[in-house]
Structure 1
Amino acid sequence: MSDETFTSRAQNAETFVRQLFEPTPCARNDHLSAKFGADIWLKREDLTPVRSYKIRGAWHAMHMAREENPDVSLFVCASAGNHAQGMAYACRELGVRGVVFMPVTTPQQKIDKTRTFGGDMIEIRLVGDYFDDTLASAKEYCAAQGGHFLAPFDDPHVIEGQASVAVEAVRQMPHAPDIVILPVGGGGLSSGVLKYIPEFWPQADVYLVEPKGGASLKAALIAGQPVTLPTVDSFVDGAAVARIGALPFETLRHVVVDHVLAASEDRICTTIVEMLNVEGIVLEPAGALTVDALRDLEDEIKGKRVLCVTSGGNFDFERLPEVRERAQRFLGLKKYFIMRLPQRPGALREFLDMLGPQDDISRFEYLKKSARNFGSVLIGIETKDPKNFKILFSKMEEAGLVHRDITNDEALAEFVL
């Protein structure tokens, strides 16, 4: 498929998308621009009707499927997130039946949102503890029913639909950006945008960012072909993909490895909190990827015009305590440690007197064993300045209080925190 043909198809997809909603905003962000000394613009895909770009690919691919085969009356997908919601919304608008397969472990909030978007036109089936089982069941059902399986990213029409993000941005930006930053999960959005913009912004450098715990694109670039990651951290659930899509990789294989960034899950949490507190912008972890990557590119972007695609805002606020916790730990404002406390009167008071005015105990568990002279204490401390921990630990060492920092000990923290 030639670039010219793809350009035309992406523009046609954008025309289809206009039947659903107006172009999402593409505007300069003053806070980020001042912070990084650059001209930062955000393409706000978190503001589509389903709060993610996924509706674009689903809508376009379903249109094309029905054009190619007017008898298609059933669409099937496997998804626990934005793709499911995009297909559900499109099913309702098109008046066609859809069946969404989700893992049994899917949070009720995501199930309810998908059902709200699809209404009476969709059925939700909870199958399997793991997504691979869910996917296999969805494909088996689809084949048996003669439906159309709607892939989340490994589909040419889905990729063309996601490229409508770039069609809008090219029209909206008053001047071509120097740098474009795109999130990567399965690769549908990034490959579509990357394939579209060279004709219009030939001088723009493109950087791609994926979660550190799901860096499937970088692994594929190193191997020269898509590979399956042995493990995936699912925290950035909108982009944590074990294997980059085969079709997207045909475009992404030409990306320079150094232009693929990996954002740590904990640091992404600090970006989510910052954008919420400072800008009032709600981003899901995958939606915050490109904004988070600005920190890695601070020297590169200074004085330049930068476009970031914020891909989604489906954030479950029940996760906010976890996000805040991870952000504090990343910033060094919260630590957990195990301390050996002498079992004698006044020992606890002596420790409490070591705390500074900005230190606050958020967790305290004391396991007293009468046969011992010392007891183990699990303590969580929050503070306003990371330097306060250096002062506290120095006081503890002077007093002979043996302690072990377990804040970043993943194996131990999984059981006790």
Structure 2
Amino acid sequence: MADIFAKQLSPVMRTMTGPGPRPLYQAVEGRDGEALIGGARVVMAACNDYLGLSGDPRVSTAAARAVERYGTSCSGSRLIGGTLPLHEELERAVAAFLGQEAAIVTTTGHQANLALTPLFGGGDVVFSDMANHASLVDAVRAGRAESRRYRHSDMGHLERQLVAADGEAAKMIITDGLFSVEGHVCRLPELAVLARRHGARLVVDGAHDIGLLGAGGRGVAEHFGLMDEVDLCTGTFSKCFGSIGGFLAGPAEVIHFLRYTARSVIFTASMPPASAAAALAALEVIVREPERRTRVFEVARRVRTGLRALGFDTGESLTPIVPVHIGETGMCGRMWQEVLHEGVFTSVVVAPAVAEGHGLIRLSLQATHTDDHIARILGAFAAAGRRLGLIPPQPQAAPHQRLAPATAAGVS
């Protein structure tokens, strides 16, 4: 008789979970660009706390005060008994920050995207970038709409699919604002034109760009000057806001509809008080301290420039997500281990998250990374890359010439 428990990990995952230092489920104690892993202090380059706010005393103090006032949990869903004044205050603040009519906060960012599902009805068509986050993929799968995926950032492919669907069907285009694997920004200007031309709603997941991009940190829409072109945005407090939780912001009628129909909202315990208070405090810092964004982009520029000078391929990213393309899965794993051995903790991305043979090391850089951290990151990649033959060996210094006897005598 078959056993439903008789499942095995894929060969790639078995490689990533075997003996020795592995990149998955590592216990990490970290703050301000560094971490303690296995008793060793390393540079943390795998944390999405881009602005370094999770350790900011204003944020942690706000969280502690919320615990003192409200306890550690609401112990109920937002629908019944789990809504605090903090949640409502955070929703108003997020909506105002993003220039939207209303917002609703969720317990995680993943659940914020799942909350889109009631919008995907029978007869509707949803167009998704193939590189969208798994939570957007799950949301579409859970709905009843027809799903059509277009090649990553391929606007021609998207337009052909939109033309084929023109007619009576209600349409939505959904995309990540900043793609988290390789640090690409979505082609929002072209997406906005196509959405208008074909009568589609445009939804952007700002998980990695809200707080980071744009003059005021309002994300990819502000970055492109297209705040009025995005119909609905989703996001998370677990990146730039140094907390946990998610949100949706858009037209008041739509948010009201989702508040009473989204299963990921009404059938889960609400966002903890400490997390809501931390997100509120972080939002104030984001607004008041744009220099944090300036710093993290400067850190990224210096790391990216240094890696390229060493001979690494860092792709096209211009954001604090810096991919280092390695290739074959086994070599990618070895490179990750060697970089860790040199004192830098990174993320490894292999198939199926990327195409087979296109594995990469992903760096997530922070405003709290110091000049010393930058030097240590570059030193680690230089040493590891040379040991594995991924970059050219260090040039040999020219041998010192012996001083001629007359010159030596003159010096003495």
Higher RCO (CA < 8 A, seq sep 6+) = 2
Question: What TM-score does the superposition give when structure 1 sets the normalisation length?
Answer: 0.31
> Relative to total residues, which structure has the larger helix share, 1 or 2?
1
Question: What TM-score does the superposition give when structure 2 sets the normalisation length?
Answer: 0.31
